[in-house]
Chain A
């Protein structure tokens, strides 16, 4: 499966942007916590605890804010300056998650924007890279 080159239409962004961001954000945080609980996401929470994050899906107009403590990820309103903000279009986020594209490549090509604490960004990137999907039931969906 290859993800086609696409950008969501601007009308979508303005529509989605007006809906509350809580449900998708809640879904994201729940997924992260589940993955962590099952040891699929090998997160060293001591590196993430006390920080705020925002995933900005540009073409969907979605801003998903969350934070971490020593144990879990939590939905949080992160204000204007989260410790780390990752911005990209939906298709590029999907490529990154499915390992079709290397985050560095997207960054070199200016398709992925990293704002805030650079080292925290590196920790998050390396964390996602270290998820071994082949050891999970999800492997069928992931390009491994």
Chain B
């Protein structure tokens, strides 16, 4: 019998204190959160943590022996980068278990100022190969890297086999498919994108039009999609819009689907993935509770009996209800390319 691998950490999102508690109560090993400003990639009005709620959340998680990661995963914008430095200072002061960074300038700052602080490399860094990851380790002592959602399972294995840095992959949530950290679609339409302002397709540019036939979604005036009666809707991000291309109107870039790796859990454990991440800091405590509970059960089952593992219909049902566009995909993990 092959040596059994340790189970990957289940890393769950928290946009609010109740969501954090829901993640902890339902079996997350780790929660990740952001501060109330543009230093994190879910900079939505009313979301995220201030000093009081962050302290209370960290206390709650640590009391239950879970870890807390602070995402400071946007790129410091020229002119005034003090906000980003302050966010790192705050993370160190709060006593988070690690900080998730994308910007190498900030990695340098964090490493220099807080030699003991554990650093993770964000998906927004767009590091898709082990050379990039090993370089970040050499320079800034990065302990974990989150891989963009563009690699096949074989490619993820390749990376893991060639680095000592822990590898985290996405397990469930809305897909930001293109090239995390490099997508400019939102900037094209609104002047603001995840890297610069911490949000894709900001709500202030979104307008829902309730016509008699269809629900229209406009982003800064640009019609992104129209949903007929009863047709499931999605977030009005440009990559998931329907566009007219050479006379055909269709999802030219990506269907509004959610990633769900449940079917691949035994392989993910087998290749030595250190952590599985759930997307969705912008979602409610109800979502966090349901996804965490379901993945906890699936992960434990896959760890116990990898050979006999199969996805239970109840799990699929629970997750498909929550998924954007109510479709699920294994994403790039099972693409045939090498």
Contacts and interface: CB of A to CB of B under 8 A. Distances in A.
B75 interface: no
Provide the main secondary structure of the chain A interface: helix
Interface residues of A, number: 33
A126 B47 contact: yes
Contact of A44 (B22, B46, B234, B287): B46
Nearest to B18: A132
B34 to A, nearest CB: 13
B177 interface: no
Given A123-B46, A125-B46, A104 B203 contact: no
B140 interface: no
A67 B287 CA distance: 29
Contact of A101 (B206, B229, B233, B286): B286
A134 interface: yes
B202 to A, nearest CB: 8
A83 interface: no
A100 B53 CA distance: 23
Contact of B322 (A105, A126, A130): A105
A105 B321 contact: yes
B325 A108 contact: yes
B284 A122 contact: no
Interface string A112-141: 011100110111111101111110000000
A126 B210 CA distance: 23
Contacts of A18: none
A132 B52 CA distance: 13
Interface string B271-287: 00000000000111111
B285 A99 contact: yes
A118 B204 contact: yes
Given A44-B46, A118-B204, A122-B45, A107 B233 contact: yes
A15 interface: no
B203 A126 contact: no
A104 B215 contact: no
A123 B45 contact: yes
A66 B321 CA distance: 32
B208 A114 contact: yes
Contacts of B325: 108
Interface of A: 44, 47, 99-105, 107-110, 113-115, 118-119, 121-127, 129-134, 143-144
